[in-house]
Every structure is written in C-alpha cells, then in structure tokens.
Amino acid sequence: MGDNELFISNISSTIGSPNPSIGQINPNQALGSSGNVTIRTPILQVSDRAGVSVGNYGRVGAAGTLTIDADVIKLNRSQITASATSGEGGNINLNLQKFVILRNQSKISTEAGGVGNGGDITIVSPVIVGLENSDITANAVRGNGGNIQITTQGIFGPKYRDQITNESDITASSEFGVSGTVDINNFGVDPSSGLVELPVNTTDPSQQIATGCVDTNGNSFIATGRGGIPQNPSQSMINYRTWSDIRDISAYRQNQPITAQIPQSTEKLVQATGWRRTPQGTIELVADNSPTQVQQLLACAEIYR
C-alpha cells in the first residue's frame, strides 16, 4: 500500500526517452492507493515524451495527489498525470507565479479507467497557454468525469469541449458516466463589487440644439472656400491662386511734386572777446561788435611834428 509521500525540490528540467518519469507508481499486483508527490522549483521543464506523474496501475485503489509549486512550467511533448487503471484518478494541483505552457501534444490529465472516477485538476496561474493539440483532461470511462478548476488572468489556446478533438481541449467527460465540471475564474474580478453606477440625471436634449432659423428672416449661407467658387457646379476653378488682388492702384502711381526742404538758419555763435559784470554781480562773457579801428603806421619823422 503506497501511503508514503515523495517530496522533490529544486528541479529545473527533466528530459528523457519514452516513459521516463518522476512519480509514485503502484505495480499491477498492488491493492492500495498510490502516495503523493510534491515538487517545488522555480522552473519545471519537461520535454521529449518524459512525464511527472502519480499513478495506480493495480486492480483497485486510487492514484495519489501531485502538487507542483513553481514560477514557470514548460511542457513540450510531455505530460503531467495522476491516472489510475481501474481505481479513482488522482488529483493535480498546479500553483504558478508566472505561466504554464503546453506544446506539441502535451497533456495535464487525471484520467481514470474502469469504473473509477476522474480526478480533480486545480490550476492557479496568471497565464495558461496550450498549443498544437495540447489538452487538460479529467476524463473517465465508466465512472464520472473529474472537476477542473482554473484561476487565471488569461488562457490562450485550450477551449472547453465535450470530447477530445484534434485541437487543444479542456474536457471533464465520461464515456458511460456523468461528465464532470469545468470552472474558469479570472483574476482581479470581484463579482460583489457590482456594476458601475450611472448618473441618474440625464442631459436635456432641448438645451443641446440651437434654435432653427425662421424662413422669413432672409437668412443665407455662403461657402467661398479658400480660392472662391466656380461660376456653376459643373465648372472647375481656372485660377490656381488662392487670392488675387484686383484693387485699382493707379492712384498710387501719380507723380508728386518735389518740394525742396530749406533748412532754417540757426543763430551763429560768436567767440567771446571780453567780459563784464552784470547788475546782479555775476560775470558775463561778451563779444565786442564795435568796428575795429586800425591805427595808421607812423613814420619816425612824423613823431616830432
């Protein structure tokens, strides 16, 4: 009886040939249930048909529970399973901080064979990507299908379908029993928050439309455009200039008489030749305008005359 629990940490990658796996498996002669596997690692990368699983291949008994806590899970042509041949399918719990991506027919499955019920799958990841016929299944044959609970901000590729197809599927079906449930919830959506309350008072449309023009007031509307308008609607504009000056400027071209500007004479400044005292007792410089008398030169003989 597999009642033990296997704990594995710090796994970054598992690559192998057909059917290599990390898991807890009961051989076909066992009668009990399988144990549990818990993996904690930043990045879990499984490829090349390798697998991480808990399984029970005995005649009775359930598969164990597989729990993976990681930042990123990458599956490329590989699988994460918790399956049973005849008993109950196991459970898979995936807790991601960033994303999980499935490519090239990868699979996350809790299928059960015989009369066993499919196991439950719980995935919490901000982003879930499934490409190239990669599936998330909790199917059963004669028992009931399992339950799939997904909480994410966005799921790209896989879609819920009643049966497995050649596309990327999410199924919880049973071939002869009752199908399980698939529940997908989005991060950040609070149903209790309600809808946004709209304003109660609506805008009065009568205040938004201008009063129409009365036809008897002689109103008019003229559209001139940037370069005028043609003579009739069938003609095009001939002049490509946007504006033409048609004013008469001949009046500005007449010859005007030229008037000489004679500067006004200014008072001539005369150099001072003397000074005098004014009645107020101040000194004033003056120029002597009296005619200059030139004394005749005398000869020595005329001095004694």
**DSSP conformation letters of the chain:** ----EEEEE----EE-SSS-EEEEEE-TT--S---EEEEEEEEEEEETT-EEEEEE-SSS----EEEEEEEEEEEES-EEEEEESSS---EEEEEEEEEEEEESS-EEE--B-TTPPP--EEEE-SEEEE-SS-EEE--BSSS----EEEEESEEES-EE-SS--SS-EEE--BSSS----EEEEETT--GGG-PPPPPSSPP-GGGSSPPPPPGGG-------TTT---SSTT---S---S-------GGGGSPPPP---PPPP-PPP----EEEE-TTS-EEEE---SPPPPPPPPPGGGTT-
**What averages of pLDDT result for each successive group of 10 residues across the chain (305 residues)?**
46 41 51 77 89 78 85 93 80 94 93 84 94 91 89 92 91 87 79 67 71 66 67 67 70 66 71 84 77 52 52
Q: Is residue 28 part of a domain?
A: yes
Q: Is residue 212 part of a domain?
A: no
Q: Is residue 218 part of a domain?
A: no
The predicted pLDDT at position 33 comes to 67
The predicted pLDDT at position 16 comes to 37
Q: Is residue 302 part of a domain?
A: no
What's the total number of domains in the chain? 1
Q: Is residue 222 part of a domain?
A: no
The predicted pLDDT at position 182 comes to 92
The predicted pLDDT at position 228 comes to 63
Q: Is residue 208 part of a domain?
A: no
The predicted pLDDT at position 226 comes to 63
Q: Is residue 215 part of a domain?
A: no
Q: Is residue 9 part of a domain?
A: yes
Q: Can you give the residue range of the structural domain that contains 182?
A: 5-187
The predicted pLDDT at position 69 comes to 94
